[in-house]
Chains A and B, each alone.
Chain A
Amino acid sequence: MTIEAISDTVTRLTTFVTNNFPTADITPGSVLNELLIKLGASLQNNQYNEVQTLSQGVSLAAAEASTTDTYNTTIDAIASNYGATRNLGVLSTGVIQVIISSNQSGVFVPVGTSFTQPALGLTYVTTASLQYSSSPTGTALQMFTNNGVSYVLVPVTASAVGSNYQVQNQAAFTLTSGSTLSGFVSASAYGNFTSGQSKETDQQLIARFKKTITPGSLVSPTAITSYLQQQLGNSNIVLSIAGAGDQEMVRSKDNIMGISTFGMADVYIRTTFGRETQTFTKQATKIASGQWLLSIANSDAPGFYIVTSILPTPVSGVQTQTGSLLVTNTTYGYSAYTGQRNNIVNSAAEARFSMYQTASITFNYTESPAVAVGASASFDIVVSGQPGIQEAQQLFLNDSTRILNADYLVKGVVPCFVSLNIQLVRKHATDTLTSIGVSNLQQDIFNYVNTIPFGEALSASKLVSICHNYPIDRVDLPITMNGQILCLDSTTINLSGSDTLVIPTSVVPQGVSPKTVQFFIDYFVANSTTNTTNNIAISLV
Chain B
Amino acid sequence: MAISGTTTDTSGRTKDLLIFQGLDATKYNVSEPINISFGTTSAYIVGVQKLLQRFTILFLTGTGSQPDFPAFGTGFLPSVANSSAGLDAIALQHIFNFANLKLSQVFKDFQDTTTLTLPKDEQLAAATLLDFSVSSGNLSLTIGITSKAGSTVQYVLPFPIA
Contact = CB atoms under 8 A, between A and B. Distances in A.
Interface in A386-415: none
Contact of A42 (B17, B55, B68, B116): B68
Interface residues of A, number: 18
Interface stretch (A31-39, A103-111, A421-429): A31-39
Contacts of A31: 16-17, 19, 53, 57
Contacts, number: 53
A38 B68 contact: yes
A304 to B, nearest CB: 49
B10 A23 contact: yes
Contact of B54 (A6, A29, A38, A45): A29
B98 interface: no
Nearest to A42: B68
Nearest to B69: A38
B114 interface: yes
B58 A28 contact: yes
Contacts of B83: none
Interface string B111-125: 000101010000000
Interface in B28-77: 46, 50, 53-55, 57-58, 66-69, 72
A294 B137 CA distance: 79
Nearest to A9: B68
Interface in A25-77: 25-32, 34-35, 38, 41-42, 45
A45 B14 contact: no
A27 B110 contact: yes
Nearest to A38: B69
Nearest to B51: A29
A24 interface: yes
B27 interface: no
B69 A27 contact: no
Interface string A362-388: 000000000000000000000000000
B106 interface: yes
Contacts of B15: 23-25
Main secondary structure of the interface of B (DSSP, over half): loop
Contacts of A30: 16, 50, 53-54, 57
A109 B66 CA distance: 36
Contact of A27 (B46, B54, B67, B68): B54
A499 to B, nearest CB: 45
B159 to A, nearest CB: 17
Interface in B96-154: 106, 110, 114, 116, 118
A28 B53 CA distance: 11
A28 B106 contact: yes
B68 A25 contact: no
Contact of B69 (A6, A22, A25): A6
B66 A38 contact: yes
Contacts of A25: 14-16, 46, 50
Given A41-B68, A45-B68, A32 B16 contact: yes
Contacts of A45: 68
Nearest to B19: A31
A45 B58 CA distance: 23
A31 B53 CA distance: 8
Contacts of A34: 57
Interface string A4-22: 0010000000000000001
Interface string A273-306: 0000000000000000000000000000000000
Contacts of B53: 29-31
Contacts of B69: 6, 38
Nearest to A45: B68
A80 to B, nearest CB: 34
Which residue, of B15, B50, B68, B106, has the highest number of chain A Cβ atoms within 10 A?
A: B68
B103 to A, nearest CB: 9
Contacts of B67: 42
B51 to A, nearest CB: 9
Contacts of A41: 68
Nearest to B20: A31
Which residue, of B10, B53, B54, B72, has the highest number of chain A Cβ atoms within 10 A?
A: B54
A27 B58 contact: no
A29 B57 contact: yes
Contacts of B14: 22-27
A22 B15 CA distance: 9
A34 B66 CA distance: 10
Nearest to B58: A29
Nearest to A22: B14
Which residue, of B13, B17, B116, B118, has the highest number of chain A Cβ atoms within 10 A?
A: B17
A475 B16 CA distance: 52
Contacts of B55: 29
A50 to B, nearest CB: 15
17 contacts: A22-B14, A23-B14, A25-B15, A28-B72, A28-B110, A29-B53, A29-B54, A29-B57, A29-B58, A30-B54, A31-B19, A31-B53, A32-B17, A34-B57, A38-B69, A42-B67, A42-B68
Interface of A: 6, 22-32, 34-35, 38, 41-42, 45
Listed from nearest, the 4 A-B pairs whose CB atoms lie closest are: A29-B54, A25-B14, A25-B16, A29-B58
Given A24-B16, A31-B19, A38-B68, 11 more contacts: A6-B68, A25-B15, A27-B110, A27-B114, A28-B54, A28-B106, A28-B110, A30-B16, A31-B16, A38-B69, A42-B68
